Amino acid sequence: MTGLVDAAPHHDCEVLVVGSGAGGATTAALLAEAGIDVLVIEEGPWIEQGSVVPFSLEQMDRQYRSGGLTVALGRPSIAYTEGRCAGGGTEINSGLYRRPVEATLERWRRTHGVVDFSDEEFYAACDEIEAALSVGRVPGRHSPAGDRLRRGAAALGWQHEEIPRWMTYPTSTDAVAGRRESMTRTFLPRAFAAGARMLCEHRVDRLIHDGDRAFRAELTRPDGTPATVDFRDVILCAGAIQTPALLQRSGHRGLVGRSLAVHPTVKLAARFDDDVNVPDHVPVHQVNEFAPDLSFGGSASHPGLVALALTDHWDLMRGAVTDWRRMAVYYAAITSEGRGRVTALPGLRDPVVTYRLTRRDRALLGKGLARLALVMLEAGAEAVFPSFRGAPVVRTRSDLADLTGRFAAGTASVMTVHLCSTVPMGSDRSRAAADSHGRIHDTANVYVNDASLLPDAPGVNPQGSVMAVAMRNARRFVEERA
């Protein structure tokens, strides 16, 4: 791939961008197109899209941090996933795209004092992103699992919709034929075409400062030897876990890493009377009858993930996994009131992540799982297998009361793929770790431009918000450096 450079003991650039996901790739492209000398550092490898099977164990091993085995400690603990590859999370997620509503933007202005943040400018950035990523709806047939969810919601009279994706359909109009327009296919090639360079499989260990200015990054190369990068400005786009951890390792504390926000989810597996499973596809329909507090959708249903959804009551449910072709996994996601922390500790390579659900969060997860089970029954499921220890098999509406009575958040397999808000932006220094355009308070040239900046969880897939904020901030950066 043109733009990738070889490992060397030292590099120089005008702007160092750490991370190549939704925030980093967008930032690198816009800065390089403005004539700025950009070097992108990515901890993971460059893996061509299509060279691994989506949602497979091989993909988890090669493109996820720690093989996907990462967890926020708490009661219950919450499993989460981070992309660790060129393109970051855009290479491994389902490609679903949602704009945040105007009420979310107004809340961020009000609660954190985000200034120069107009709806018009934000949604204009969304328009540009949607064109660049070919965001749209499926032009042909939907997957069977997604269609089942739609049918169940329609039978109950609940609001539901198809969520757009950043996909193109080069071989067929069917949903399963979509090709993800991730960062390695869109903004990273744009950055390279404009002269940006990129180092893969290099870890940024810390930033070195002289007063309020950072001037050097200390790296570890693929062979374990050290390297350095000297820069004029640095923009951290390593995600809501690694960005605050790097800042803390570099001496920044205060509010950094103290306000992690996520969308916790609980899951179930539903078995139907015909084949519904498409292992490398995620359904595009969601049920939003109870939004923004609660939403339902389809999850990846690779056979291994079906088995994982059944493990909380394996003695009762292990026989069901042989029917994986007739099964699909679905989730109930909540907008959480709880918060978590990211803490980098000396001697540990990765930070310690904690999260605390509130009483309301715990109750809402239980309600969400029961309502999701009801949707599945209305969709024609012959058996529903909720993912919590001691869960009953749900076959009729009368079983839902048993499900509700047995559910406890502490026994559930809670997870999330949406992480944000660990370096929130805004002018209110009592709540924001960075200013309204991503510069860390009391620094001259240290910026953040990824999901860490979002003041709270937006209640929808955050990638659209991340990219729009990154585009806004990158353009402001260029204006200020002109």
406-442 b/e (C-beta count within 10 Å ≥ 16 → b) = ebebebbbbbbbbbbbbbbbbeeeeebbbbbbbbbbe
DSSP string, 48-105: -TTSS-TTSHHHHHHHBGGGG-EEEBSSS-EEE--B-STTGGGGTS--B--PPPHHHH
Q: Based on the number of CB atoms within 10 Å of its own CB, is 473 exposed (0-12), middle (13-18) or buried (19 or more)?
A: buried
Rounded Cα distance between 482 and 337, Å, is: 41
Q: At what angle do helices 119-132 and 102-112 cross, to 10 degrees?
A: 130
Q: Which residues contact 80 (CB under 8 A, 6 or more apart)?
A: 70, 71, 72, 241, 262, 353, 415, 416, 417, 419
Strand partners for 78: 72, 414
Which DSSP symbol is given to 216? E
Rounded Cα distance between 232 and 39, Å, is: 11
Rounded Cα distance between 212 and 208, Å, is: 10
Instruction: Confirm if 240 and 260 have CB atoms less than 8 A apart.
Output: yes
Helices (H), 353-462: 359-378, 400-406
Q: Tokens standing for 461?
A: 């897939």
- Judging by DSSP bridges, how do beta strands 38-41 and 294-298 pair with one another? unpaired
Angle, vertex CA 468, rays to CA 23 and CA 462, nearest 5: 70
Q: Which positions are catalytic?
A: 418
The residue type of 117 is F
Instruction: Confirm if 136 and 164 have CB atoms less than 8 A apart.
Output: yes
Decide: helix, strand or coil at residue 241: helix
Q: How many CB atoms lie within 10 A of CB 443?
A: 19
